[in-house]
A and B are shown apart, each in its own frame.
With several copies, the nearest count.
Chain A
Amino acid sequence: MEQQRLSGYFDYNATTPISTEVVESMIPTIKHFANPSSSNRHAMLSKKIINDTRNQVASLLNTQPSKIFFTSGGSEANNWAVKGVLLNHIANPGHIITSEIEHASVLSTVEYCVAHFGFSVTYLKPDQNGKVNVSDVERALRDDTQLITIMYANNETGVLQPIPDISKLARDKHIPFHVDAVQLVGKRRIDLEALHVDYLSLSAHKFYGPKGVGCLYIKDASRITPLIHGGGQELSMRSGTENLVAIAGLAKAAQDASNQVERWDQNNWSCKQYMMSLLDSSPIQIKYNGSTAYNDALSNTLNISIAGIRGEALAARMEIMHSYIISIGSACSNNKAKNISHVLEAMTLSDDDIVSSVRISFGRFTSRDDVKRFVTTLVAEVQALIAISGR
């Protein structure tokens, strides 16, 4: 996708455009092939790149570099946190607390541990605003609860979960707490010194970095088993020859996020407010799915249901006719079965509201002008679809 097409890109939560600065930080490292695990002089540069990145990520999260472990992305980080903690209890499988709105890389890993190793699990329902309640976490606690894993910001609705409160609870009860912060990093500031969670996942491609690299923050490495054993990289916690090019890109992405996250957030919040005001005063009939207030949700995400149309058809017209990219809450699937958002379903939206939903997500390259053009087009296309349906 070309940079000039960015003004039509409203799917930042799927993946962000890689920034020019990140690209430029990656290109020179492609040719630098020395294996960071070797002991020759060329390997020093490879090691330096890796150390620099670790420092940048640590400073982005306000924590120590030694607690940052590189992975191949958010999915691996989530798998590692969940399995790494639970497989230590294999002789005595206990209880997991998670929510119904987690990303598939948490949900299916939890399901695997339940089905395969005999753990039990409580899936918390969010309220109608898309938020998991701390009191529900507290009620779900059992003597044998061995892990709490809750995401920081939901990828479909942007709704923020009460992570500081859950963290306090988990600490009081001495239960390991993992946070999937893949959607938060680069959108709001995280301060791990203040947050005190045990594990936290992030993924570079969600904040203008490359795909295929992420991190797991681990407060105490003695409590978790590696997911990938071997040659001893990453203090023997995550083996495998390092993906130097992507790690170099992550350094720049982390640095930029660290310096600019408030600025990006301001831009997002201004775009979001503007978008909501335009939608509210338009002739089309919409409902917001999940909270939209600044303190309750990411500034870059709007999930809406639009009366009288199918989200899929709207997204198709937006893209085919106007090159706008948005996401949908329900897709057709090849076996005629429903393929609808588990997040919106957990929020007890009706099927009609789900099939008529779209997710609009934007970011640092989005301007208010882009928003204005986008909403104008969206409204026209909704009206065209309603016209086709004849209602």
Chain B
Amino acid sequence: MYNDIIVDNFSAPNYVGDLETADHEIEIGNPVCGDRIKVQLLISDSQISKAVFRAWGCATSLATANVFCRSIEGQSITTISKRCTQEISSMLGELEPSQRHCLDILSELHSKLVSQLDIGVA
């Protein structure tokens, strides 16, 4: 079943939306289960000032998109880039085996964000 983090973020995702002019966009898709997530960002001074998403996928992956947006909004790229694997894993709470692919989604969102915006990290 779904843990409380997933339930909250999935049943009332508050980062759903589109930006008319985004500073940056991350898109990932899981070729196997077909989940698709698009995150749009407003960035100022290497800070994420706004993050919104669109997603098509399973409950846990929708929740993951919301968790990700909340966790980056208001943060600097540098801070985000310092998150270790363990920290990232714990963001989704305890997952059932069949939900663990969402950890990959979450890491991929992180690594895409950091690698694509590495200007900020330097």
Question: Taking beta carbons and an 8 Å cutoff, which residues of A are in contact with B?
Answer: 39-41, 44, 308-310, 312-313, 316-317, 320-321, 331-334, 336-339, 351-352, 355, 387-391
Contacts of A308 in B (CB 8 A): 56
Given A44-B1, A320-B10, A320-B11; A332-B60 close (CB under 8 Å): yes
Q: Is the CB of A390 within 8 A of B10?
A: no
Tell me, in angstroms, the Cα distance from A309 to B11 when the chains sit together.
15
Given A321-B11, A334-B98, A336-B101; A390-B54 close (CB under 8 Å): yes
For residue A225, give the distance in angstroms from its CB to the closest CB of chain B. 25
Quick one: which of B18, B32, B57 contacts A310, CB cutoff 8 A? Answer: B57
Q: Is the CB of B58 within 8 A of A332?
A: yes
What mask results when residues 43 to 61 of chain B are scored 1 for a CB within 8 Å of chain A, else 0?
0000000000011111110
Contacts of A352 in B (CB 8 A): 34
Tell me, in angstroms, the Cα distance from A317 to B6 when the chains sit together.
11
Q: Is the CB of B100 within 8 A of A388?
A: no
Quick one: which of B18, B30, B35, B59 contacts A390, CB cutoff 8 A? Answer: B18
What mask results when residues 97 to 110 of chain B are scored 1 for a CB within 8 Å of chain A, else 0?
11111001000000
A-B contact pairs, 28 of them (CB 8 A): A40-B1, A41-B1, A44-B1, A308-B56, A310-B34, A310-B56, A310-B57, A312-B59, A313-B58, A316-B10, A317-B11, A331-B98, A332-B98, A334-B100, A334-B101, A336-B30, A336-B32, A336-B33, A338-B33, A352-B34, A355-B34, A387-B16, A388-B13, A389-B36, A389-B54, A389-B56, A390-B18, A390-B54
Q: Is the CB of A332 within 8 A of B33?
A: yes
Main secondary structure of the interface of B (DSSP, over half): mixed
Contacts of B56 in A (CB 8 A): 308-310, 388-389, 391
Contacts of A338 in B (CB 8 A): 32-33
Q: Is the CB of A313 within 8 A of B62?
A: yes
Question: Which residue from chain B places its CB closest to the CB of A41 in the assembled complex?
Answer: B1
Contacts of B18 in A (CB 8 A): 390
For residue B70, give the distance in angstroms from its CB to the closest CB of chain A. 15
Question: Which residue from chain B places its CB closest to the CB of A339 in the assembled complex?
Answer: B98
Q: Is the CB of A332 within 8 A of B101?
A: yes
Quick one: which of B1, B13, B33, B101 contacts A39, CB cutoff 8 A? Answer: B1
For residue A297, give the distance in angstroms from its CB to the closest CB of chain B. 28
Tell me, in angstroms, the Cα distance from A336 to B11 when the chains sit together.
24
Q: Is the CB of B10 within 8 A of A317?
A: yes
Contacts of A316 in B (CB 8 A): 2, 10, 58-59
Tell me, in angstroms, the Cα distance from A342 to B59 when the chains sit together.
22
Interface check B7, CB cutoff 8 A: yes
Tell me, in angstroms, the Cα distance from A213 to B35 when the chains sit together.
40
Question: Which residue from chain A places its CB closest to the CB of B100 in the assembled complex?
Answer: A334
Contacts of B35 in A (CB 8 A): 310
Q: Is the CB of B62 within 8 A of A388?
A: yes
Question: Which residue from chain B places its CB closest to the CB of A40 in the assembled complex?
Answer: B1
Contacts of A351 in B (CB 8 A): 34
Contacts of A312 in B (CB 8 A): 58-59
For residue B61, give the distance in angstroms from its CB to the closest CB of chain A. 8
Tell me, in angstroms, the Cα distance from A336 to B60 when the chains sit together.
14
Contacts of A39 in B (CB 8 A): 1
Question: Which residue from chain B places its CB closest to the CB of A351 in the assembled complex?
Answer: B34
Tell me, in angstroms, the Cα distance from A320 to B12 when the chains sit together.
11
Question: Which residue from chain B places its CB closest to the CB of A330 in the assembled complex?
Answer: B33
For residue B120, give the distance in angstroms from its CB to the closest CB of chain A. 27
